[in-house]
């Protein structure tokens, strides 16, 4: 028998949607600021499901489920992760601020905080904003943010795919909220 035998689906003990919905979620909302790629939207849904994110706000031109192209990458996560649509991102930010969320834009900006230096307080409500694949997070949204987080990069490119950026930040926050309890 191989040293690392791949687990079967039955051995993974995956929750069904009803079981998942009953779980306590992390107090995190992912805000999608005018994301144009439905594949990216679906990927962010799937990552949000994996790490028990409370909900996703779809803003502006960001497509809403059900759409086949979102479904292809979400693999059912549009059914498990709560979501809400806003015509513009600032409406989402205003609602989140009223509910006591710390507003965090994931963007390369002056005075940004490097991701590895960000230590979220356990159980603090966070709104993590990722921006358009070409233009990034809108300046108006950055201006309304409490923090800008930057993912350090060392190659010739100065940007990551939006779903990759979201995944890196979600994992970082998840580690601090969930794994370090």
Say whether pLDDT at 1 is over 80: no
Upstream peptide bond of 174 is cis (omega within 30 degrees of 0) = no
Centroid of chain to Cα 113:
18
Residue 176: pLDDT above 60? yes
| Average pLDDT rounded to a whole number, residues 10-36 | 94
Confidence of residue 117 (pLDDT cuts 50, 70, 90): very high
Rounded mean pLDDT, 117-135? 93
Q: Any idea where the domains of the chain sit in the sequence?
A: 24-179
pTM reported for the whole predicted model = 0.95
The domain 24-179 belongs to what CATH superfamily? SPOUT methyltransferase, trefoil knot domain (3.40.1280.10)
Instruction: State the pLDDT confidence band at 158, using cuts at 50, 70 and 90.
Output: confident
Query: How many Å apart are CA 49 and CA 22, to the nearest integer?
Result: 13
CA-wise closest residue to 126 among 31, 59, 33, 46: 31
| Dihedral class, residue 13 (left if φ above 0, else alpha if ψ from -120 to 50, else beta) | left
Distance CA 79, CA 47 (A): 13
Please, are residues 71 and 78 in contact by the beta-carbon 8 Å criterion?
yes
């Amino acid at each position: 028998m191989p040293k690392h035998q791949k687990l079967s689906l039955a051995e993974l003990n995956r929750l069904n949607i009803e079981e998942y919905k009953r779980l306590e979620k992390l107090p995190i909302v992912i805000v999608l600021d005018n994301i144009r790629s439905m594949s990216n939207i679906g990927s962010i849904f799937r990552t949000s499901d994996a790490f028990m994110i409370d909900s996703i706000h779809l803003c502006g031109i960001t497509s809403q489920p059900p759409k086949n192209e979102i479904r292809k990458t979400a693999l059912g996560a549009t059914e498990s992760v709560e979501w809400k649509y806003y015509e513009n991102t600032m409406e989402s930010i205003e609602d989140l601020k009223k509910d006591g969320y710390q507003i965090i834009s994931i963007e390369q900006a002056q005075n940004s905080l490097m991701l590895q230096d960000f230590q979220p307080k356990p159980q603090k409500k966070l709104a993590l904003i990722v921006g358009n694949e070409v233009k990034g997070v809108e300046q108006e949204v950055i201006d309304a943010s409490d923090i800008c987080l930057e993912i350090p990069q060392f190659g010739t490119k100065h940007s990551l795919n939006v779903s990759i950026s979201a995944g890196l930040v979600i994992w970082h926050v998840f580690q601090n909220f969930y794994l370090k309890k």
